[in-house]
Structure 1
Amino acid sequence: MTCALFIHSSPYARHAHAYQLGLDILDYTQRGALPATVIERDLTSDPLPPLDDNYATALTSGAAHTDDRFALSEKLISELESSDTLLLAMPMHNFSVPAAFKLWIDYVVRIHRSFTSTKTGKVGLLTDRPTTILVSSGGFHCSEHAVQPDFLSPYVKHVLATIGIYDVVFHYLEGLTSGESAVASALRATRRQLQNAGLLDRHNDYARRANR
């Protein structure tokens, strides 16, 4: 049995389209030859507290990993270390990641714990694992209809590489504020991508679970 870490950060919480797709991926995974246990972290309904001066002081003073000031950071990094796969679902906010997810990044990207600094740059200390990232956006940023930049994808890719995670694939749900037909089209296109990637059943196109 494997372990999947599912992190989501939409203001719509469990009603978000990306979250629903994430659940379908996990459903399919749990029915596979190697079913997965799931660690779920909802960064919207259970938000992380802002970093404070105690944490910053511990970080810059080289305090031990066991220092109480690192307790939450240790818990979040341990969730990563316990997982064989990583699944992220998030909206694009103002061309980049939502604030709730940025805070998770600031807790898990920690010098001497999840990465080390060398003369040639930062080196990740965590084990690589397959990572699927579902990104929803009201506008268009990567298709032929793109009219805005995407700073989210390169940033998240670089941040994850900093801690040792390189096997990263993005799937996008674009144009979600363009009406019901646009939403349905985006969901169909992304489902096909996920099916082709072996993350959803090709022969069973799940209906979105709106009441979960």
Structure 2
Amino acid sequence: MQKMSLRVRRLLNDRSGLAAVEFAMIFPMMVVMFFGVLELSSAIAVDRKATLVARTLSDLTSQMASVADADLLSFGETAKAIMTPYPGSPLISSVTEVYVDSGTGVARVQWSKGLTIGPTGVVAIAVTAPHNQGDVVVLPTTLVAAKGTYVIWSEVSYKYTPAIGYVVAKTGMSFSDTAFTRPRTVTCVTYSATPISGSLPPCPTW
């Protein structure tokens, strides 16, 4: 009986392998935390890049006197480069020019073009325009207050799919942003499918 009690006491006092047991218990949590932080960091980076794309598209367009499809495709290539090293195909963007009526202050779409990026990285003009000409849209109060002016409005959306879905979100996370700028060199930026030669047409006021 005394020998049995001594063996039990030795067993209870035995600490060999304790570190290995503790590590085996903590390691799965450490792995989840590591990948969680990694995916959240990537998600934050994607969100910031989407914001930068929105600002870049509106800024580039506002510096033009007129834009053609070739210009918009070039802007799309710039947007794709900004999203690097993340894939460009989830990026959906658009550029729209809006006129704020000088009398009523109602904001109406003058022209609108969307951009998509295919799985192979090819930038294309979207088949369907994000907004129809003449549509009434809601702009920030500070922009509507300046009646009789034009505004370049860019919209961007991006769906980020994490590599380790069960850590953050299996279905992915969607990010979106908008940006507004005024035309820099002209009263309005004219759109034409092909480059305009000669003088620009008068600014529309749909």
- State the TM bucket, normalised to the shorter chain: under 0.3
Q: Which structure would you say has the larger Rg?
A: 2
The higher-RCO structure (CA 8 Å, 6+ apart) is 2
